[in-house]
Structures are given as C-alpha cells and as structure tokens.
A = this chain, B = another copy of it.
Amino acid sequence: MAKAPPPSPALAPTPTPAPADPLPSWNEGPHKQAILAFVARVTGATNPEFVPESERIAAFDNDGTLWVEQPVYTQLSFAVDRVRELAPAHPEWNKQEPFKSILAGDLKAALAGGDKAILDLIAATHSGMSTDDFAQTVTQWFSNARHPKFGRPYSELVYQPMLELLSFLRANGFKTFIVSGGGIDFMRPVTTRFYGIPPEQVIGTTPKYRYQNVKGKPEIMREPGITLLDDGDGKPVGIQTHIGRRPLAAFGNSDGDEAMLQWTAAGKGPRLAVLVHHTDGAREVAYDRDSKIGKLDKALDEANAKGWVVVSMKDDWKTIFPATKISVPESAPSAPGAR
C-alpha cells in the first residue's frame, strides 16, 4: 500500500501566533492552568457559566499574599519605627513595656507581652491623630523604610506573579479588592502604586473614627479601639460590609484567610479559591504549619480536602519579586486605570 502523501503545504494550517502569556512569571502547570481556565469559564460570553462583569469580584489578602510578611509584619515595623520617633515626647516609655524593650532594640522581648503588648503598641502609634495626618506619616515611612531581611524598600517586596494576576483579572473585567488583617489606613496610601488598587477597594482592620469640627476645621480622628478586626471570621464580615456581595475569587495564604475562602467557594456557580504556599526558603521564606506569622495549617487541610488551588511559590513562580523598581508616591495616590 502506498504511503499517504505528506499534507500539501498549501493546506497545512498557518500557525497562529500564540497570544502573549498574561502570567509570564508563572511556570506552566496545573495551578497556572486552573487560574486561566477559571477566568475563561466565567468570561466566555457564550459559556453557560458566564458571569457579568459587575459580579466579577476578586478578594486578595495582603500580608504573605501580595507582599512579604516575614520575619515581621510590615505594619509592626512601622509601629516600632514610630515608637522610636515619638519616644522623646514620652519619657514614661523608658519604664513601660512594650516600649522599653522596643527602645532597647529587643522586639522579641517587647512582643513577649502578647496581645496586650501589640494593642498598646498599636494604640500608641495608630490613634490620637487625624486620618489626614496618619496618611501623611504612613506615606513618608514607606518612602524611607527598608525591609529588615531583604534590605529593599517595601515597594520592591510585592510578589511579581501576583501583580500579573491582578492585572490579568482586571483586564478580564474583575474588580480587585484587598481584604487584609492589616490596618485599613496603613495600606491605603500605597495600594494604588503597589497594586493598582484604589483606597475604596481596600478593606482592613478599622479603628474607631470620630468626626469633629473644631473652629470650622473638620477632621476625622483615629481613636483607640477597632470597629472591624478584618481577620479570620472577620474577613467575610469585612466583605459584606464593604462589597455587599460574595467574591467570585479569593486569594490568601494563611488560616486567617480560611473563612474568606470558604465564603467565596460556597457561592453558586464557578468560584476560585487559592492559597499561596510559602515553600521557597531560598528565594523568600519557607513556612506554614508551625509559623507564628502567617500560619497555614487548618486552611491547608481544607484546601486539600476541597480541591482549592494551592500555589507553591517554589514550583509555580519563576520569579518572586519585580525586576524593575516601583516608585513610592510622596503624596496622595491617583489611580489611572485602576478599577
């Protein structure tokens, strides 16, 4: 029997150029594929699972999901720096924990006081000023601070693959929100430049505010105490308060994100729940079940049981941090193109 002739060159399909990879810092594999496939499912206009743009809400944890959280939460570094700066006006701090240990440079001893130490530290550095003044202080801090381990500005310690994911989702009609245990006004001054997320799409732990109008100068004062602890079960509460509908996709990295992922995944129709697993001790920090910061234990079990996407930073990410430097705003952010 004669061999079949080779296909005529004229009939061979012209190779169409591959579309540009929207997630170039992600290695090929099941996790990248799961994310791309989910977005295709909900955005394909002829797809039975099509979701209108208005319902395309994506919620992102911040510490450990969008920026580094080890060896110490960024906001805690800020608070420590504030204590040093404010100390001259507070001679009593030399005899009072946690301030005494902080001023002696011993953060570990300062935090030995547990939750009370943290609350005292936050109250002393995050309340008693107007929201405008606090935003100015935070903005200035970010423009000067360097990370204790990496020695780089915080603007360079955001995860490049997550920046690509944020852009990819926005390009597909998603509105991106931060839902973080961090202080809401600590993040807002930088989220536009760091992530393209404007202040009104940032949800975080929220202080008591008090409006005052003294001598015709209206101000919003930050008071001690909080109205929302936006962590754990507080994350779905923050989402309901600020967004008023269930996310289509949610991204976290710790047990503090478990409730948010549950709430998201339990919605009708297609939903995407993703955990970032810190597996890369060489390029970042490897930690999960036994970590004090960003502990990932129960949520990892639930993710495995329910088939949530667990991204391995070591295996799934080509790079961790952006190659190019991000400039930090000196003044109030503007958000061209931010959704």
Contacts and interface: CB of A to CB of B under 8 A. Distances in A.
Interface of A: 52-55, 57, 131, 175, 184-185, 188, 192, 198-202, 206, 209-211, 213, 216-218, 220, 227-228, 233-237, 240-245, 259, 262-263, 266, 332-336, 338
Given A54-B338, A198-B54, A262-B218, A241 B333 contact: no
Given A210-B237, A218-B236, A245 B54 contact: no
A234 B332 CA distance: 24
A218 B206 CA distance: 23
A199 B244 contact: yes
A244 B52 contact: no
B188 A244 contact: yes
9 contacts: A52-B334, A54-B198, A55-B332, A200-B201, A211-B259, A218-B259, A220-B236, A220-B240, A242-B242
A223 to B, nearest CB: 10
A298 B59 CA distance: 41
A21 B7 CA distance: 63
Contacts of A243: 199-200
Contacts of A333: 54
A211 B242 contact: no
A206 B241 contact: yes
A218 B262 CA distance: 7
A268 to B, nearest CB: 10
Contacts of A263: 211, 218, 220
Nearest to A199: B244
Contacts of A213: 259, 262
Nearest to A266: B218
Contacts of A262: 213, 218
Contact of A237 (B52, B57, B209, B236): B209
B175 A200 contact: yes
A336 B200 CA distance: 19
A198 B244 CA distance: 9
A273 to B, nearest CB: 12
